[in-house]
Amino acid sequence: MSTESAERPEPPAAGRPDPRHTDPRHTDPYRADPRPTEAYPRHAEPYRARPRHVGPRSAWWHGEPGVGPRRSRRMRRRRRRAVLLGLALLGAGVGGFVTLQPERGPSSPEQVAGRVADGAGGGRLPDGIRAERTTVAYPRSGPGRFTAADGRSEVYGFDGPLHRYRIEVEQDTGQDVDAFAAAVDATLGDPNSWIRSGELRLQRVPEIAAADFTIYLATPATSERMCAEGGLDTEGYTSCRLPGRVVINLARWMEAVPDYGAPLSVYRTYVVNHEVGHELGEEHQACPGHGEPAPVMQQQTYGLDGCVANAWPYVDGSLYSGDLVPGS
């Protein structure tokens, strides 16, 4: 059995509820400790629309001579073109590893198809440029207790069954649970992630009873112990997926892997999409050819086998995959 996946659980028989949600005898040894009660809960206030900023009006509005409405519109168009050109040059300067995040989740297949897929993580860094590696210290082991992220995300995707996930971070690791939740949300809500199929939706929820699966960020020692409960031997190195659990190894989250050839942010996006892909029923795939982007379901943690790093299931708007790896 692979160290990055496990068999999906058999669904409950018809008419029989899932014991995880209904049986009071069911306990989770890694259940998160509740957060302390606050006088003013952070998520209790309903959303309020941000007031529109009112800036200075254009010169022609005030009747200044020599500046008419047509000239003002031309000036605005030129400024917009200059900004877009600057962003394009900036993206090219960092080797093409640019992630375009949508302002909101996609609302229709046509909207998704209309977005330009940048293929983030699907190419090499320019010659002479090496991906930066972090030197931030982190613990190798922790208490095995977790803190859960508050609040819920919007629903990502536009059709299909809704899969709800919960976020938990091991305590005393120096990692902020809300920052980790935001990173996971940004990955799973991206139009190049699994939602692009139009056959499923995703949402983060705070309630353990409402979650279909939980995504953990755990120290190497804790993640190894959690993965071993499902028969997976990670040697404290890789992440894993068990039925209802996605376990992200803190060491990989902080360091990625040697010779990955892409920034740390690309590896983080990959490992979330890879392990959640297992939870959604995907299996391991092989590199399709030397110099080609690695499928997101390739075990990129163990090496790229001639492929180049890729973090997304969809590349250039299409589902990107390789041959299935038997027995993995």
- Segment 292-313 shows an average pLDDT of 97
Q: How many other β-carbons are positioned within 10 Å of the β-carbon of residue 43?
A: 9
Question: Full-prediction pTM beyond 0.85?
Answer: no
Whose tokens are 């989740």? That residue is: 105
pLDDT tens track for 166-202:
999 999 999 999 999 999 999 999 999 999 999 999 9
Q: What does the pLDDT read at residue 161?
A: 97
> Is 111 or 228 the better-scoring residue by pLDDT?
228
Domain spans of the chain, in order of start: 67-93, 97-319
Q: Rounded to an integer, what is the distance from CA 83 to the centroid of its chain?
A: 28
Task: Say if residue 20's pLDDT is above 90.
Answer: no
Q: What does the pLDDT read at residue 50?
A: 31
pLDDT band at residue 104 under the 50/70/90 scheme: very low
Average per-residue pLDDT for the chain:
73
Residue 6 · residue 247 · CB < 8 Å: no
Q: How many other β-carbons are positioned within 10 Å of the β-carbon of residue 162?
A: 13
Percentage of the chain lying above the pLDDT 90 cut: 57
User: Reduced to 3 states, what is the DSSP secondary structure of residue 216?
Assistant: strand
Residue 279 · residue 241 · CB < 8 Å: yes
Q: What does the pLDDT read at residue 327?
A: 77
Phi, psi of 167 (to 5 degrees): -115, 130
Phi, psi of 71 (to 5 degrees): -65, -40
Percentage of the chain lying above the pLDDT 70 cut: 59
Q: What does the pLDDT read at residue 204?
A: 98
- Rounded-to-integer distance, Cα 98 and Cα 120, Å: 6
Residue 91 · residue 120 · CB < 8 Å: no
- Segment 245-259 shows an average pLDDT of 97
Radius of gyration of the chain (CA): 23
pLDDT band at residue 287 under the 50/70/90 scheme: very high
Strand partners, 163: 202
Q: Rounded to an integer, what is the distance from CA 184 to the centroid of its chain?
A: 4
- Segment 77-84 shows an average pLDDT of 50
Q: What does the pLDDT read at residue 135?
A: 59
Residue 254 · residue 169 · CB < 8 Å: no
Amino acid type, 25: R
Q: What does the pLDDT read at residue 1?
A: 46
pLDDT band at residue 117 under the 50/70/90 scheme: very low
Dihedral, 152, 171, 25, 163 alpha carbons, nearest 10: 30
Judged by average pLDDT, the poorest of 61-65, 186-190, 240-244 is 61-65
> Is 34 or 36 the better-scoring residue by pLDDT?
34
Residue 261 · residue 304 · CB < 8 Å: yes
> Is 179 or 100 the better-scoring residue by pLDDT?
179
Q: How many other β-carbons are positioned within 10 Å of the β-carbon of residue 12?
A: 13
> Is 187 or 98 the better-scoring residue by pLDDT?
187
- Rounded-to-integer distance, Cα 322 and Cα 309, Å: 14
Give kind and range of the element (H or E) at residue 247: strand 245-249
pLDDT band at residue 31 under the 50/70/90 scheme: low
Residue 253 · residue 243 · CB < 8 Å: no
- Rounded-to-integer distance, Cα 32 and Cα 323, Å: 38
> Is 261 or 30 the better-scoring residue by pLDDT?
261
